[in-house]
Amino acid sequence: MIYFNSDYLEGAHSAIMERMMETNMMQTVGYSCDEICDSARAKVRAACNAPEADVHFLVGGTQTNTTVIAALLRPWQGVVSAVSGHINCHETGAIESTGHKVIALPTPDGKLTAKQVKDYVEWQKNDESEEHIVQPGMVYISHPTETGMLYSKAELTEIFNTCREYGLPLYIDGARLGYGLTADGNDLSLPEIAQLCDVFYIGGTKVGALFGEAVVIMNEKYKKDFRFMIKQRGGMLAKGRLLGIQFDTLFTDDLYTKIARNANDMAYQIRDIFVSNGYLLLFDSPTNQQYPIISDEELAILGKNFGYEYWERVDETHSGVRFCGSWATTQEQVDALREAVNALKK
Amino acid sequence: MIYFNSDYLEGAHSAIMERMMETNMMQTVGYSCDEICDSARAKVRAACNAPEADVHFLVGGTQTNTTVIAALLRPWQGVVSAVSGHINCHETGAIESTGHKVIALPTPDGKLTAKQVKDYVEWQKNDESEEHIVQPGMVYISHPTETGMLYSKAELTEIFNTCREYGLPLYIDGARLGYGLTADGNDLSLPEIAQLCDVFYIGGTKVGALFGEAVVIMNEKYKKDFRFMIKQRGGMLAKGRLLGIQFDTLFTDDLYTKIARNANDMAYQIRDIFVSNGYLLLFDSPTNQQYPIISDEELAILGKNFGYEYWERVDETHSGVRFCGSWATTQEQVDALREAVNALKK
Amino acid sequence: MIYFNSDYLEGAHSAIMERMMETNMMQTVGYSCDEICDSARAKVRAACNAPEADVHFLVGGTQTNTTVIAALLRPWQGVVSAVSGHINCHETGAIESTGHKVIALPTPDGKLTAKQVKDYVEWQKNDESEEHIVQPGMVYISHPTETGMLYSKAELTEIFNTCREYGLPLYIDGARLGYGLTADGNDLSLPEIAQLCDVFYIGGTKVGALFGEAVVIMNEKYKKDFRFMIKQRGGMLAKGRLLGIQFDTLFTDDLYTKIARNANDMAYQIRDIFVSNGYLLLFDSPTNQQYPIISDEELAILGKNFGYEYWERVDETHSGVRFCGSWATTQEQVDALREAVNALKK
Amino acid sequence: MIYFNSDYLEGAHSAIMERMMETNMMQTVGYSCDEICDSARAKVRAACNAPEADVHFLVGGTQTNTTVIAALLRPWQGVVSAVSGHINCHETGAIESTGHKVIALPTPDGKLTAKQVKDYVEWQKNDESEEHIVQPGMVYISHPTETGMLYSKAELTEIFNTCREYGLPLYIDGARLGYGLTADGNDLSLPEIAQLCDVFYIGGTKVGALFGEAVVIMNEKYKKDFRFMIKQRGGMLAKGRLLGIQFDTLFTDDLYTKIARNANDMAYQIRDIFVSNGYLLLFDSPTNQQYPIISDEELAILGKNFGYEYWERVDETHSGVRFCGSWATTQEQVDALREAVNALKK
């Protein structure tokens, strides 16, 4: 079996594993106060061209989102998100468990617009019952979104300007940030993303690390005491150097970018395999997740040798499914898929 | 000025005020453990034909909803509600502040259906990511709804049966329950409502009391330790007898029913005033809240002498507004409105 | 039976009840936005000599403490309190339910000292594990304390200066503030108290109101959006004018002070009744709560005609009990007690 | 420098690292639903002689404590702990952040007694203000305690029986469980511990793993939906197999026990080094943490080549410090320490 279900099916990139082995018996202090974490933080800051940024390493995405969001909001505030946002759909109410409403706005493609944010904030502020409505206290977007869509520089700039206008911090969930940064058609660099938000995180779990997310706090206002929050939320790893090792490796010699690009390259090939064979796509996604529509009959055949993620029923005989490329996907794996799909059409 | 904005514009029914005066210098123990509260609880149980029910008195609606919902749910569960439900819209995130998501389902008229509940629960249970999605842990409905709509006995029975099927407690917000029980076309009695849910509350604040809501816990499973929850949520009034006095009075000689019917009678007259003058209604509401559509020009004229609640813009020159009848509304007040509206049309 | 158990055994002072009756059928807007509340707020500000203060009316003490404390703290912070503080002992974990630790420091008499605060803050800040320890985020004191003790002006000034030094807001729980302000030996005026803290509340429930506490926010930093917090915590009374009526009355012609002094006068007589008959006191309390030590035998006799609160066992045959004077206690009631106690000693 | 500061200074045991490398490019499903986790769960169950137990893998100790405790308690309940318990002292209020009070009872040595639990529960239940006091809802102990102390089988049995008597679940924090199980004088086996509580966890982070704690739920009542809770609390690792790999390795061929015993052996040698040189101990600890009292002068000398954890000042010229043995401590490291200490005394 070859699995294309997601981008977290394997362990970590070999460079990370080697570094883990080399440093294994080193003695360091705990809680990410060691010198490897210091080095990793410096490299992340350099890659972001953000020498003043605070960088923190957490273990996973839900933990990161919960920690950041609960640290930024006041008790009566909520976080504005697309309905399809990860925090609204797939975190078992983690945000609400910290006391905050996810103010979920519907979108056609998972992307919030500046206008939506503006309209919502204006509506709430001007409603007679203003004080009876959760106050929007920050904006959450994912880049790429849950289905791999990208904000353009113009779109992100507009959202950020709107947030600034209303005093709302903008937080970007970058669980798959690497795949966005290296996508065809992307016009946003890492330093630009850093400049266009208050806090964001660079995902490691889905981009070559065993686990780990690097939170980058750009806005001075949110830096103070953030480590207390990490500890309280259960995110302060005793052997914090494990996170340092991973990000230090990922941000050495552009490794993060290189392996992310591999995922996109493989995903584009996967897309071409289906499209060139006449399959429609559920939607056109520019990054490492691809969504062909396949007949249930053919899915049954493919499913014998290939793993994919079921997405949604399209009609009585067809389903949309997800195939992911990842940092680990090999040309051999994609070639095997090509052969299998071509065979279906013979 | 005569105000029809809401049903909590005045103090309390005179019978309550008299009882307050009479008992003012009585010495009683605190926290609703006094004999007047005992009497009130007995009368509420009798009115509900529910001799085994637990009855608790709280101060206001948001407090009551928060206390009940947080007491019933486990941390990973959310409460299913209509999008327009009070807990989703007008409680400043009070439910989320207790750690729970409001799972808001869209409805055309503010009424959840059994099928919606069933479909949602089935979808969540069967989703591959089940454990990543907030588990529906209870169902919340308002009767009447925010805009005064009513569930029929058949509808409520079906919802309750569905809840039972899935082990979900059903909680009914009865902030305006009196207005529902006494509405034209209503086919549900208080004992029937009690039988068709696990917990509900009988609203006092909007139906003749200074303040106060009577929570009725029907399901044995949710009775234990509820007073701890009331205290923790700030709802245990030191001079609890004030709540006892009010509910004891409201449930003596059917006072609650009588004054609620007055509100509906007056509201029906208000509806007729507008309809007979050719005004359309935003929607047809069977209880004490009525929603005529009025031109902005005429609203400006009416607004000089009459208070109403602005609801929503209908078109460039018309708005939907709310006029409420209440336990306190007098024939004179309605007659004055009639005259004014008739005058507009001359 | 005559009850001296507490200071919330009766309804409200007659002036309040009259005003309730007079205004009962007035129509006002809800949620404390009415003109009576405006007037009451102005009078409270005047009494505090604090023209810039924000004044909010809430229903009860636990609700008030929870709302204020949760509004002031960040998630990783706790509130410093005496072990015997109401928030630590008698609110069913309401503070913790908002996510915050009560950092409880032991005291001999329920009074925190500036030194205790300073030492604790310094210890936490300088501990190697600083980030693993809840950060002290504010200081809570009661004036009078749970057992009626008073801070002197010098003591309060020193605490407040220490709080300022460390950037900690000081919050004073004034559930029985009136009894403190009018006690023999008290050297703090209401305007001085206002100047020596960031937020405090003036208790109504225990000083002549049916219910209600007036929160006074002195520090500009904590004013913003407080009404959202009140609403979320279930403390925004629909018929808010009921709170306005009560505080407007209490702060007209010094009524609050006058009725509070009556409580102390009666309590001092009660103390004298016991002391002059040779009874010891559990401790000497300068306000309306008095704690004689009485043999169990005599308690049984007294208990037939007089209510008191059991406090603690002193030895095998004696108990410390509490007798309270209140705004409502009459000379006749105290005289009856005197006669009964004198009779015991014959 | 050789560090004895703690037992989480190095990476993981070599057997774990080898297994990590071997499995690195395997493709598995996420969230601990893979076959390696299944195998690890089976081995943990076998080691506990608890075929019906539920076993879950979480990342760290604070996360584990928070997840378990918040899953077991109802909103108005708190968790009984020693004052020195990790949840009370060193988790930045993580328990309180879930809404629950830590009911902290003082102990001379960090060990709760059955009598303390019984007395507290009886006091709360019988207090007049019962409903105003946080209800004890479970009991938390650490084995070994924060300072390495051990419960005897008789003590643990008595605590568990008391918990049963009052319907309180008993939860054992086993962050250093391995060091307890293999200590001289210990009379509790892993299956016995499993039988004498409702939930416990087997610590990996401090006993040879990179990270990871295995929660064992013995009581049927607490099994349902626990994975929802893990996800909500941010503890569900995407690449869950990393936890499976580690516990599968630790519970193969008794590795967990073997490496834990090494820590104790080394710690006993460290103790002997100090005691034989005439140093006093802060207290006598039977496991891998040892607490010699050393003059500040000598500490300065030792500190040039050896790391230790500062514990507390003993007098003006002496301090108590902690030296830990761990799974990774070597005979060479201990010999170097011996030489250095012996040298001090020459």
Quickly state the pLDDT bin for B247 (edges 50, 70, 90): very high
Query: Which of A2, A63, A210 minimises the CB distance to D239?
Result: A210
Contacts of residue A3 in chain D, CB cutoff 8 Å?
27
pTM for this structure?
Answer: 0.97
Residue by residue, DSSP assigns A206-232 as TTTSSS-EEEEE-SGGGTTTHHHHHHH
Query: Which of C31, C135, C232 minimises the CB distance to A76?
Result: C232
pLDDT at A288: 97
- Residue B288 in contact with residue B175, Cβ under 8 Å? no
Mean pLDDT over residues C255-265, rounded? 98
Contacts of residue D78 in chain B, CB cutoff 8 Å?
none
- Best of C224, C232, C233 to disrupt the A interface by mutation (most A CBs within 10 Å)? C232
For residue D191, cis peptide bond before it (omega within 30 degrees of 0): no
Q: What number of C-beta contacts closer than 8 Å exist between B and D?
A: 43
Q: Which chains have 3+ CB pairs within 8 A of A?
A: B, C, D
Condensed to tens digits (0 to 9), the pLDDT of residues B53-63 reads 999 999 999 99
Condensed to tens digits (0 to 9), the pLDDT of residues A176-222 reads 999 999 999 999 999 999 999 999 999 999 999 999 999 999 999 99
Question: Distance between CA atoms of A229 and A64, rounded to whole angstroms?
Answer: 11
* Residue C151: closest CA among C120, C121, C176: C176
With CA atoms as reference, the chain B residue closest to D233 would be B76
Query: Which of A135, A228, A236 minimises the CB distance to C228?
Result: A135
CB of A337 less than 8 A from some CB of D: no
With CA atoms as reference, the chain A residue closest to C70 would be A75
CB of C74 less than 8 A from some CB of D: no
- Residue C109 in contact with residue C103, Cβ under 8 Å? no
Question: Distance between CA atoms of B229 and B236, rounded to whole angstroms?
Answer: 9
CB of C98 less than 8 A from some CB of A: yes
Condensed to tens digits (0 to 9), the pLDDT of residues A151-172 reads 999 999 999 999 999 999 999 9
pLDDT at A319: 96
Query: Which of C20, C93, C228 minimises the CB distance to B232?
Result: C93
Contacts of residue B228 in chain D, CB cutoff 8 Å?
76, 131, 135
Mean pLDDT over residues C157-170, rounded? 98
- Would the pLDDT of B346 be above 90? no
- Would the pLDDT of C260 be above 90? yes
Question: Distance between CA atoms of B177 and B156, rounded to whole angstroms?
Answer: 14
With CA atoms as reference, the chain C residue closest to A67 would be C75
Question: Distance between CA atoms of C276 and C280, rounded to whole angstroms?
Answer: 10
Handedness of CA C20, C25, C27, C30 (dihedral sign): positive
pLDDT at D346: 76
With CA atoms as reference, the chain D residue closest to C102 would be D101
Q: What number of C-beta contacts closer than 8 Å exist between A and C?
A: 43
CB of C125 less than 8 A from some CB of A: no
Mean pLDDT over residues C46-70, rounded? 98
CB of B191 less than 8 A from some CB of A: no
CA dihedral C315, C318, C319, C324 (to 10 degrees): -150
Q: What domains sit in chain B, N to C, each tagged with a CATH number? A: 2-6+256-344 (3.90.1150.10), 14-253 (3.40.640.10)
Condensed to tens digits (0 to 9), the pLDDT of residues A243-270 reads 999 999 999 999 999 999 999 999 999 9
pLDDT at D218: 98
3-class state of residue D243 by DSSP:
helix
Question: Distance between CA atoms of A176 and A195, rounded to whole angstroms?
Answer: 18
Question: Distance between CA atoms of B117 and B105, rounded to whole angstroms?
Answer: 9
Mean pLDDT over residues A55-75, rounded? 98
CB contact under 8 A, B232 and D135: no
Q: Which chains have 3+ CB pairs within 8 A of B?
A: A, C, D
Per DSSP bridges, beta strands B77-82 and B135-142 are: parallel
* Residue A237: closest CA among A89, A56, A30, A14: A30
pLDDT at A71: 98
CA-based R_g, chain D, Å? 21
- Would the pLDDT of C100 be above 80? yes
pLDDT at D142: 98
Handedness of CA C126, C127, C130, C134 (dihedral sign): negative
- Best of C92, C100, C103 to disrupt the D interface by mutation (most D CBs within 10 Å)? C92
CB contact under 8 A, D234 and A238: no
Angle (nearest 5°) at CA A233 between A227 and A234: 95
- Would the pLDDT of C346 be above 90? no
With CA atoms as reference, the chain A residue closest to C71 would be A75
Question: Chain C closest CA to D284's CA: distance in Å?
Answer: 23
Query: Which of C76, C227, C236 minimises the CB distance to A229?
Result: C76
CB contact under 8 A, C99 and D98: yes
* Residue A335: closest CA among A260, A259, A266, A280: A266
Residues of chain D with pLDDT below 50 are none
pLDDT at C179: 97
Question: Distance between CA atoms of C45 and A122, rounded to whole angstroms?
Answer: 33
Question: Chain B closest CA to D127's CA: distance in Å?
Answer: 14
Question: Chain A closest CA to C63's CA: distance in Å?
Answer: 15
- Would the pLDDT of A346 be above 90? no
Question: Distance between CA atoms of C71 and B336, rounded to whole angstroms?
Answer: 46
- With pLDDT > 70 as the criterion, what percentage of chain B qualifies? 100
CB of A129 less than 8 A from some CB of C: no
The 10 Å Cβ neighbour count of residue A192 is 15
CB of D168 less than 8 A from some CB of B: no
pLDDT at C345: 80
* Residue A285: closest CA among A114, A113, A110, A139: A110
- Would the pLDDT of B345 be above 90? no
- Would the pLDDT of B70 be above 80? yes
- Residue D221 in contact with residue D227, Cβ under 8 Å? no
Question: Distance between CA atoms of B169 and B296, rounded to whole angstroms?
Answer: 45
Contacts of residue B134 in chain A, CB cutoff 8 Å?
92-93, 96
Query: Which of B75, B78, B96 minimises the CB distance to A100?
Result: B96
CB contact under 8 A, B239 and C206: no
3-class state of residue A205 by DSSP:
coil
CB of B239 less than 8 A from some CB of A: no
User: Three-class SS string for chain B?
Assistant: CEECCCCCCCCCCHHHHHHHHHHCCCCCCCCCCCHHHHHHHHHHHHHCCCCCCEEEEECCHHHHHHHHHHHHCCCCEEEEEECCCHHHHCCCCHHHHCCCCEEEECCCCCCCCHHHHHHHHHHHHHCCCHHHCCEEEEEEEECCCCCCCCCCHHHHHHHHHHHHHHCCCEEEECCCHHHHHCCCCCCCCHHHHHHCCCEEEEECCCCCCCCCEEEEECCHHHCCCHHHHHHHCCCCCCCCHHHHHHHHHHCCCCHHHHHHHHHHHHHHHHHHHHHHCCCCECCCCCCCEECEEEEHHHHHHHCCCEECEEEEEEECCEEEEEEECCCCCCHHHHHHHHHHHHHHCC
- Residue B155 in contact with residue B117, Cβ under 8 Å? no
CB contact under 8 A, B78 and A100: no
* Residue B272: closest CA among B292, B299, B258: B292
Question: Chain C closest CA to A67's CA: distance in Å?
Answer: 10
Quickly state the pLDDT bin for A345 (edges 50, 70, 90): confident
Question: Distance between CA atoms of C66 and A115, rounded to whole angstroms?
Answer: 37
CB contact under 8 A, A96 and B92: no
Per DSSP bridges, beta strands C199-203 and C170-173 are: parallel
- Would the pLDDT of B330 be above 90? yes
CB contact under 8 A, B239 and C8: yes
- Best of D81, D134, D310, D321 to disrupt the C interface by mutation (most C CBs within 10 Å)? D134
Per DSSP bridges, beta strands C135-142 and C170-173 are: parallel
Contacts of residue A32 in chain C, CB cutoff 8 Å?
none
CB contact under 8 A, B96 and A134: yes
Quickly state the pLDDT bin for C153 (edges 50, 70, 90): very high
pLDDT at B339: 97
Burial track C153-188 (b if 16+ CB lie within 10 A, e otherwise): eebbbbbbebbeeeebbbbbbbbbbbbbbbbeebeb
CB of B31 less than 8 A from some CB of C: no
CA-based R_g, chain C, Å? 21
CB contact under 8 A, C71 and A75: yes
